């Protein structure tokens, strides 16, 4: 008997066998001694749940509404760079897979396919997408990318806030092969300083991005501290993503399962959405995240493994399978809808991850 529809560890092993070692290591690695990378995964498994019973779970609905869009699943695709390292079709294939599963796709600014080409495939499959922004040293260049994404149909911007400088990863290799054609497909010929990360970001940049984009909602990614969540809410953020960048930025940053309850409490009642990523690998992990107050979750590496192994179909199968595993876990926990998961107070008090409500 297979326990679940999806086995991410098996997908990862298959991807490792397929990919050149430097590409695999770029996808898999974390910063420093990879303490946060490892802890992210284990922390979800320490969230113990008190299932609810006698609640008529004959119809369980995994659908959500996210910033005005209807999605079939709360499992979303996190922005990750350089998909052509994993598959020749790159982001176009990933986006198609997400759209086919009814899942939100977030396109990274480090896309190796043109924004407009990714948008076209999403359009063709009725997909919803957001555009992730690294504010670059050259603000005008950043603004130009944002305007292109808005014109192409992005429904929101994701401002990555945890990368004022890029984390040092010991697994990064000089032999990683990203051609200039891939690296600069959206930027054109720019000098490296122009595209370097801006280290002087503040909460004022939330408003700047909203304005530059002609009024798109701005979601801030990389929030771990509840005081930062409060500051983002005050600055008009439409949402925050509790994230430590998959353990690729500050090593020893706390696992997202531990950070989530306090951030959810800080944003509670504000109308600002709370989402989470980092180490989520199973339908049960997703249920735990929803129980701790996330309205949606994002997956990074599992999507890259699925892309490498199976292109668009592989991505669609991963997201559909995880959603079916979530649906099964929701029935066992007594939750009929995604918003209900948080209301049922499933996360056991007195244990790691308690909600405190």
Q: Catalytic residue positions?
A: 245
- Kindly tell me which of 246 and 283 has the beta carbon lying closer to ligand FMN: 246
In angstroms, what is the minimal distance from the CB of 301 to ligand FMN?
4
Partnered with residue 70 across adjacent β-strands are 65
In angstroms, what is the minimal distance from the CB of 222 to ligand FMN?
7
Among 74, 79, 97, 314, binds ligand FMN (CB under 6 A): 79
**Alpha carbons within 13 A on the beta-carbon side of 73:** 29
**DSSP reduced 3-state for 70:** strand
Applying CB under 6 A, the span of 173-181, 229-237, 271-279, 335-343 interacting with ligand FMN comes to: 271-279
Using CB under 6 A, which residues numbered 287 to 326 contact ligand FMN? 299-301
Using CB under 6 A, which residues numbered 108 to 137 contact ligand FMN? 108, 110, 132
Rounded CA gap, 349 and 351, in Å?
6
In angstroms, what is the minimal distance from the CB of 343 to ligand FMN?
26
Which H or E run contains 130? strand 129-133
Q: What mask of x and - would describe binding to ligand FMN in positions 173 to 212, judged by CB under 6 A? A: ----------------------------------------
Two tokens at 143? 């603004």
- Kindly tell me which of 102 and 300 has the beta carbon lying closer to ligand FMN: 300
- Kindly tell me which of 40 and 62 has the beta carbon lying closer to ligand FMN: 40
**Alpha carbons within 13 A on the beta-carbon side of 331:** 10
Partnered with residue 299 across adjacent β-strands are 77
Contacts of 145 (CB under 8 A, 6+ apart): 109, 115, 133, 186, 187
The angle at the Cα of 256, spanning 252 to 258, to the nearest 5 degrees, equals 90
Our finding on whether 283 is near ligand FMN (CB under 6 A) is no
Our finding on whether 279 is near ligand FMN (CB under 6 A) is yes
If binding means CB under 6 A, how many residues of this protein chain bind ligand FMN?
23
Rounded CA gap, 224 and 243, in Å?
6
Applying CB under 6 A, the span of 48-56, 74-82, 195-203, 283-291 interacting with ligand FMN comes to: 74-82
The DSSP secondary-structure symbol of 356 reads: -
In angstroms, what is the minimal distance from the CB of 269 to ligand FMN?
26
Q: Which residue number places its CB atom closest to ligand FMN?
A: 300
Two tokens at 298? 């994002």
- Which runs of consecutive H residues, i.e. helices, occur in the chain? 8-18, 21-28, 35-44, 91-100, 115-124, 139-152, 180-183, 204-212, 226-234, 256-267, 283-291, 301-333, 338-343
Among 94, 221, 231, 239, binds ligand FMN (CB under 6 A): 221
Applying CB under 6 A, the span of 172-180, 185-193, 200-208, 243-251 interacting with ligand FMN comes to: 243-251
Kindly list the residues in this chain that would bind ligand FMN in the complex (CB under 6 A).
26-27, 40, 78-81, 108, 110, 132, 160, 221, 243, 245-246, 248, 277-280, 299-301
């Amino acid at each position: 008997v297979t326990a679940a529809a999806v086995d991410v560890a098996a997908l990862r092993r298959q991807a490792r066998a397929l990919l050149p070692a430097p590409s695999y290591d770029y996808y898999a690695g974390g910063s420093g001694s990879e303490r946060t990378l490892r802890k992210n995964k284990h922390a979800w498994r320490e969230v113990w749940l008190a299932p609810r019973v006698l609640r008529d779970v004959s119809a369980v609905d995994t659908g959500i509404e996210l910033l005005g869009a209807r999605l079939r699943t709360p499992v979303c695709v996190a922005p990750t760079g350089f998909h052509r390292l994993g598959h020749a079709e790159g982001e176009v294939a990933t986006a198609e897979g997400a759209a086919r599963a009814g899942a939100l796709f977030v396109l990274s600014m480090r896309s190796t396919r043109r924004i407009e080409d990714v948008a076209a495939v999403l359009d063709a499959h009725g997909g919803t997408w957001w555009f992730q922004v690294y504010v670059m040293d050259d603000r005008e260049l950043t603004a130009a990318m944002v305007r292109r994404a808005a014109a192409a149909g992005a429904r929101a911007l994701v401002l990555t806030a945890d990368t004022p400088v890029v984390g040092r990863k010991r697994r990064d290799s000089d032999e990683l092969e990203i051609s200039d054609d891939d690296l600069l497909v959206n930027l054109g010929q720019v000098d490296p300083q122009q595209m370097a990360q801006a280290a002087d970001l503040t909460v004022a940049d939330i408003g700047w991005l909203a304005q530059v984009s002609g009024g798109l909602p701005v979601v801030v990614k990389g929030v771990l501290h509840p005081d930062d969540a409060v500051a983002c809410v005050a600055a008009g953020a439409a949402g925050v993503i509790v994230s430590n960048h998959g353990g690729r930025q500050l090593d020893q940053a706390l696992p997202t399962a531990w950070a989530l309850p306090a951030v959810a409490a800080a944003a509670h009642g504000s109308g600002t959405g709370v989402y989470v990523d980092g180490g989520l690998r199973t339908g049960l992990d997703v249920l735990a995240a929803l129980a701790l107050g996330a309205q949606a979750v994002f997956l990074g590496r599992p999507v890259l493994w699925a892309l490498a192994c199976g292109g668009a179909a592989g991505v669609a199968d991963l997201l559909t399978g995880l959603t079916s595993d979530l649906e099964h876990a929701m029935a066992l926990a007594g939750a009929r809808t995604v918003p209900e998961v948080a209301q049922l107070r499933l996360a056991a008090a007195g244990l790691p991850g308690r909600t405190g409500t």
